[in-house]
A and B are shown apart, each in its own frame.
Chain A
Amino acid sequence: MTAPALAVRGVSVRYGGLRAVSNVSLEVPDGKIVGLIGPNGAGKTTLVDAIAGFVACDGRVEIAGQDVTRLKPHARVRRGLGRTWQAVELFDDLSVAENVAVAIGTPSPWATVKELFIKPTLDKARVGGVLDSVGIGHLFEAMPTELSEGQRKLVGIARAFAGSPRVVCLDEPAAGLDTSETRALGLQLRGLTSGGTSMLLIDHDIGFVFGTCDHVVVVEFGEVIAEGPPHEIYANERVIEAYLGSSALRTNDPGGPS
């Protein structure tokens, strides 16, 4: 029994007096996609920030069994973590290929120094492969400012996967994508798991989450209120309440996915 790719154990985050995340525990097994859903302001992004090391938290974060709670963000990345942002944070001064190249991995200091004196090259095959895996190989030369929002999302995702991470946290990858793009993204993400990469997927598009994930965790007010396989969650009254307000939908139970 190997350790899960990502384990979050009793993590809490406080901003001033406010508890943004309260004692959340979850596991992302190897090669699986776990969805994280919940209403606005439920603390999902804060949890990802805690996992990636951008906010201080109580509790433990483990990547492949290793405790990374005390590590800085870049060190966690080198342990096998990737992440994306809801508002895609690309390096606008670098081309799409260069954006991915930055994340591909740390070259040895010697290689870095050597490159300063001989003509530097970019590992085109590897960068191209990463871009192809999310279906944007044709954007290799483009600049981020020339891209549509959907394309920017995909570049951000490609960058998160570039370093062959064990686990990637995806914050709202489908927001701003149109329906067909979202569907394609779901298929691509499923495809990427075959390489052994696991994912923690946050999205508001519940259909997308249910269609893509193996397991879904629901949070509200910083706490986990439900978890289980998608079809169970979809039927969960409390989840629907959390989304649509109190005692909203008694009359129209949509039924589970076929």
Chain B
Amino acid sequence: MTTSALSVDGLAAGYDNGPVLHGVSLYVAPGEVVAMLGPNGAGKSTTLRAISGLIRMTEGQVRLAGSDLAPLSPSARARAGIAHVPEDRGLFRGMTVAEHLRLGPRKEKLDADAAYEYFPALRAISGRMAGVLSGGEQQMLAMARALARKPSVLLLDELSLGLAPLVVERLLPVVRTYATEHKCAVLLVEQHVHLALGIADRAYLMASGVSSSSYDAHVLRNDMTLVQASYLGGPEWASEFEDESKLPFIGEEAQE
């Protein structure tokens, strides 16, 4: 079955000081928005970095529309259709908004008009340097750049970092619209759980470098205990406040 735009299977990866991911498996279908939720240090950003190739994976497989990404360099993965908006937004402070929407490898033509359509506010500031934009404008620019590349897979890392919830509430629906309109697979790491679940179709919970099986977003929305347990403390600590039975993914971890 290779209908998913992105599939990750048994991914393990880490940095110099040791592994961070121990077994992450997930898939995202075209046009689907999938959220990754979990406390800091769970390995959500690391998962995105391993998918886009910024860190090397030690085990497992990452497939883009069925083809293995292992032999591809990060730039080749980007050219193959992955757009990764990193936590720091990945902007070039000394370049203007318009230049951001022109920048790309030789064969890639960015669709700046489409980007401006999704984020009309950028048109007025197209001559401004990215470094002087506000946090919200920067995030818009980062997303606009990603969308202008017409990716088949969009990885979004902590869109909301340092932004007021109001701004985030305006940005996230754009992601939803884009995914639906362009059949783009979106994998979203987000700490504003409520907002993320508001636009996501499904979600994975992560803890200690291991992913859970996927939950339907509306299930999690209606029963926040799962999410809450994963956030408000590692499983063990949560158990001081919570009934152990409400923490299903501890059980899954044990099965690994």
Instruction: Tell me, yes or no, whether A and B come into direct contact in the complex with CB atoms closer than 8 A.
Output: yes
* A40 CA to B158 CA, complexed, in Å: 9
Name B40's contact: one of A88, A175, A234 (CB within 8 Å).
A175
Taking a contact as CB atoms under 8 Å apart, the answer to whether A149 and B18 are in contact is yes
- With A152-B17, A175-B40 already in contact, the answer to whether A245 and B231 are too (CB < 8 A) is no
Taking a contact as CB atoms under 8 Å apart, the answer to whether B227 and A244 are in contact is yes
Measured between beta carbons, the chain A residues less than 8 angstroms from B224 are 244, 248-249, 251-252
Name A244's contact: one of B16, B41, B231 (CB within 8 Å).
B231
- With an 8 A cutoff between CB atoms, is A39 at the interface? yes
* A247 CA to B169 CA, complexed, in Å: 13
Pick out which of these stretches binds chain B: A121-129, A191-199, A202-210. A202-210
Interface 1/0 per residue, B151-163 and A, CB below 8 Å = 0000000100110
Taking a contact as CB atoms under 8 Å apart, the answer to whether A204 and B40 are in contact is yes
- With A40-B161, A149-B18, A208-B237 already in contact, the answer to whether A252 and B194 are too (CB < 8 A) is no
Q: How far is the CB of A247 from chain B (nearest CB, A)?
A: 7
Q: How far is the CB of A116 from chain B (nearest CB, A)?
A: 34
Within 8 A of B (CB), among A155-188: 172, 175-176, 178-180, 182-183
Measured between beta carbons, the chain B residues less than 8 angstroms from A40 are 40, 158, 161-162, 191
Name B237's contact: one of A18, A207, A254 (CB within 8 Å).
A207
* A149 CA to B227 CA, complexed, in Å: 26
Interface 1/0 per residue, B169-193 and A, CB below 8 Å = 0000000000000000000000111
Q: How large is the interface on B (under 10, 10 to 19, 20 to 34, 35 or more residues)?
A: 35 or more
B163: nearest residue on chain A (CB-CB)? Answer: A41
Taking a contact as CB atoms under 8 Å apart, the answer to whether B39 and A205 are in contact is yes
Q: How far is the CB of B225 from chain A (nearest CB, A)?
A: 5
Measured between beta carbons, the chain A residues less than 8 angstroms from B192 are 244-246
- With an 8 A cutoff between CB atoms, is B10 at the interface? no
Taking a contact as CB atoms under 8 Å apart, the answer to whether B194 and A244 are in contact is yes
Q: How large is the interface on A (under 10, 10 to 19, 20 to 34, 35 or more residues)?
A: 35 or more
Interface 1/0 per residue, B17-38 and A, CB below 8 Å = 1101000000000000000000
Q: How far is the CB of A84 from chain B (nearest CB, A)?
A: 15
A90: nearest residue on chain B (CB-CB)? Answer: B17
B169: nearest residue on chain A (CB-CB)? Answer: A246
Measured between beta carbons, the chain B residues less than 8 angstroms from A182 are 234, 236-237
Taking a contact as CB atoms under 8 Å apart, the answer to whether A258 and B240 are in contact is yes
Interface 1/0 per residue, B120-138 and A, CB below 8 Å = 0000000000000001000
Taking a contact as CB atoms under 8 Å apart, the answer to whether A254 and B161 are in contact is no
Measured between beta carbons, the chain B residues less than 8 angstroms from A208 are 233-234, 237
- With an 8 A cutoff between CB atoms, is A91 at the interface? no
- With an 8 A cutoff between CB atoms, is A148 at the interface? yes
B15: nearest residue on chain A (CB-CB)? Answer: A149
* A126 CA to B20 CA, complexed, in Å: 34
Measured between beta carbons, the chain A residues less than 8 angstroms from B17 are 88, 147-149, 152
**Most chain A C-beta atoms within 10 Å of own C-beta, residue among B224, B232, B236:** B232
Measured between beta carbons, the chain A residues less than 8 angstroms from B18 are 148-149
- With A207-B232, A208-B233 already in contact, the answer to whether A178 and B208 are too (CB < 8 A) is yes
Taking a contact as CB atoms under 8 Å apart, the answer to whether A248 and B194 are in contact is yes
Q: How far is the CB of A148 from chain B (nearest CB, A)?
A: 5
Measured between beta carbons, the chain B residues less than 8 angstroms from A234 are 241
B242: nearest residue on chain A (CB-CB)? Answer: A254
* A258 CA to B161 CA, complexed, in Å: 33
Within 8 A of A (CB), among B213-256: 223-225, 227-228, 231-238, 240-242
* A204 CA to B230 CA, complexed, in Å: 11
* A183 CA to B236 CA, complexed, in Å: 9
Ordered by A's residue number, 6 sampled pairs between the chains whose C-beta atoms are within 8 Å are A178-B208, A179-B237, A180-B236, A182-B234, A183-B236, A244-B193
13 more CB-based (< 8 A) A-B contacts, given A205-B233, A252-B223, A252-B228: A41-B162, A148-B17, A175-B40, A182-B237, A207-B236, A208-B234, A244-B193, A248-B194, A248-B224, A252-B225, A254-B232, A255-B241, A258-B240
Residues of A within 8 A of B (CB): 18, 39-41, 88, 145, 147-149, 152, 172, 175-176, 178-180, 182-183, 204-208, 210-211, 221, 234, 243-249, 251-252, 254-255, 257-258
